[in-house]
Amino acid sequence: MSKISQLVIFARIDTTNTYNQINFGQVPNFQAQEINSNTGVNVRGCFKVLTASGVRHAFNGHGNNIEENKRGQIGITETDFELMPKILNTPDSIIRGNNNSRQNKESILFTKIINNKNYHVVMSLSTHQQENSLVFNTMYIKKQKS
């Protein structure tokens, strides 16, 4: 079982809101240059981080298939998180996200079409104790237009 699957399961069953995170790689220099070119956000040397609170937030906002269907979207599942490395490493597009989080951090939207589903992953730039990270905010899936 992957680190991502373990964290997602932990986030889904934990009732104490315990903080937990994993680092699942570093942004390669060529991609940091592409992200900076597309968004103006410097992510050189950033680690990619998934947190249990981010997973819970994504499921709360985008995990109900009935509600997501009303928005023209598909509810996320635990297995969708396994696609995050692929979405972040080989996205179809990278754009600057809305800085509407409580901390007003710069965000980046990565999109990728996989199996006729249009995945959207939002990551935020976090600088903490001299270490820069791209931290998972949320994920949602838009239906492909026919």
In terms of pTM, does the model score above 0.85? yes
Nearest of 6, 45, 46 to residue 22 by alpha carbon = 6
Cα 82 to Cα 9, 15, 88: the distances in Å are 12, 23, 11
Which of 131, 139, 118, 143 is CA-nearest to residue 48?
Answer: 131
- Average pLDDT over the chain reads 91
* Averaged pLDDT, 120-126: 94
CB 3, CB 85: distance < 8 Å: no
Residue 102: per-residue pLDDT = 55
Tokens of 29: 């220099």
pLDDT for 127? 81
Mean pLDDT (whole number) for 84-92: 96
145 pLDDT higher than 80: no
**121 within 8 A of 94, measured Cβ to Cβ:** no
d(CA 58, CA 68): 12
Q: What is the pLDDT of residue 99?
A: 66
Are the C-beta atoms of residues 24 and 4 closer than 8 Å to each other?
Answer: yes
For residue 54, the model assigns a pLDDT of: 94
Residue 131's pLDDT band, with cuts at 50, 70 and 90, is confident
110, pLDDT greater than 60: yes
> What residue ranges do the domains of the chain occupy?
3-143
pLDDT higher than 60, residue 62: yes
Q: Which residues contact 101 (CB under 8 A, 6 or more apart)?
A: 107, 124, 137
